[in-house]
Amino acid sequence: MDNSISELRQDLVTGDWVVIATGRAHRPQEFAKTRHRIQESKKSCPFEALIEEPLSLYGFSGEKEGEWNVKVVSNKYPAFGKGVCALFHTIGPYQMTEGVGSHEVVVTRDHNRSIALMSVEEVELLVRAYQDRYLALRNADCVEYVSIFHNHGRDAGASIMHPHSQIIAIPVIPPEVARSLKGSADYYTANKECIHCVILKYELQDKKRLVYENEMFVVFAPFASKTAFELHLFPKKHNPNFELIVRNQRESLADAMCALFEKLYTGLKNPDYNFFLHTAPSTQSAEFDHYHWHIEVIPKTAIWAGFEIGTGIQISTLAPESAAEFLRNTK
C-alpha cells in the first residue's frame, strides 16, 4: 500500500468512505504554515502552458489549427490512480482499499472568464466534455461512480484561479450519492413515482422558489436549502443518466447554467461556490431508473461551525423563497 496514490478507509460506525490522499503527501508541519494564496497571475498559471497530451480537445468549427476552448488532461496530482481494484484489507476492526480510479481536469481557455461570463455555446462545449469523459470512464475497470464537480474561488477549494472542473472516477459509490439514491428508491417503492419529479411539479406550480426555467430545464432554490442561495438545476423530463443527454438537451442545459451563474455573479458579486453533478451510478442496470440526475450549486455564503459539524444540521440565515426572489429579479 506504500506506493498507492491514495487509500479509501471506511468509517466503522457510519459506513462512509474517506480518502486518505497519501500521494499528495503533506508533512504534518505544513498545515501550520500560512495558507497559500490562490494563483492570480496569468503568466504563472500552469494551465496557460499545458504541454501534456490532452485526453480530449474541444473547439468551434472554423478555428485555426491548435486553437481550443476546452481541454481535458490528467491531473498532475491525482487523488485516485492505477492499482488493483476490489482488493479490501482489514486493519484491526477497520476496512480499507486502494484509491483506484482516475482523476482528470477540464480546463476552459480563458484565464479570467468564469462560467458566468461565458456564452451558451462555450458552456455547451464544457458540458460536452463532461459527457464525453463520463462515457469514456464509466465502464473502466474498478469504476463504480464518476464524480464531476467544479470549485470556483479559494473558499470553495480552488487552488488555481483559472476556471477548471474535475472528473474523478472512483471504485465506490460516495456516501452522499448513496443517501440520495436510497431516499429516491424508498419514495419510489412507497409511491411508484420519482420523488424529484414530484418536487419539480410542485416547484413549477408554486413558483416561490423558482429562479429560471427554459423548455427543458429548471433552476430553483430547494425548500430545505442547506445554505443561503443553494440552487438545484434539474431536467424537467425524468432521466436517471446525465451521460445520455443529446445535443439539444446539452444546449438547453448550457443556457440554464449560463443564467444561473450569471445571476449569482451579478447578484452576489461573484461569490465562491461549488457545483457538482449527481447522476445514477455508472452501471447500466435498470436498478436506478427511479433516480433523476441534477446539478447542485452551493455558494460559500456561510461557514460551518460547531453545531453544523457536530450535528450535521445546517443553519441557513436566508429563506430560499427570499433567495429565489432576489435572483429572479437580478438582471
pLDDT score, position 63: 63
Phi and psi dihedrals of 184, rounded to 5? -65, -45
Contact 260, 219 (CB under 8 A): yes
- Among 6-10, 26-30, 252-256, the minimum mean pLDDT is found in 26-30
Give the chain's count of helices (H) and strands (E). 6, 14
Is the model's pTM score more than 0.95? Answer: no
- Average pLDDT, rounded, for the chain: 88
How is residue 304 written as a grid cell?
Answer: 460551518
Q: How far apart are CA 178 and CA 189, in angstroms?
A: 16
Sign of CA dihedral 325, 326, 329, 331: negative
Grade residue 29 by pLDDT with cuts at 50, 70 and 90. Answer: very low
Sign of CA dihedral 118, 216, 184, 244: negative
What number is the average pLDDT over the span 116-135? Answer: 97
How is residue 308 written as a grid cell?
Answer: 453544523
pLDDT per position as a tens digit, 284-301:
668 999 999 999 999 999
Res 18 pLDDT > 80: no
Burial class, 284, CB count within 10 angstroms (exposed 0-12 / middle 13-18 / buried 19+): exposed
Domain 176-328 has CATH 3.30.428.10: yes
First to last CA, the chain: 53
How is residue 217 written as a grid cell?
Answer: 430545464
Res 34 pLDDT > 60: no
pLDDT per position as a tens digit, 138-147:
988 889 999 9
pLDDT score, position 1: 46
Instruction: Name residues whose C-beta falls within 8 Å of residue 302's C-beta, 6 or more positions apart in sequence.
Output: 227, 228, 315, 316, 317
What number is the average pLDDT over the span 269-296? Answer: 92
What number is the average pLDDT over the span 65-72? Answer: 83
Res 90 pLDDT > 90: yes
Cα separation values, 164 from 37, 186, 218, 271, 278, Å: 17, 36, 24, 16, 18
- Among 24-28, 93-97, 214-218, the minimum mean pLDDT is found in 24-28
What number is the average pLDDT over the span 167-193? Answer: 95
Contact 144, 173 (CB under 8 A): yes
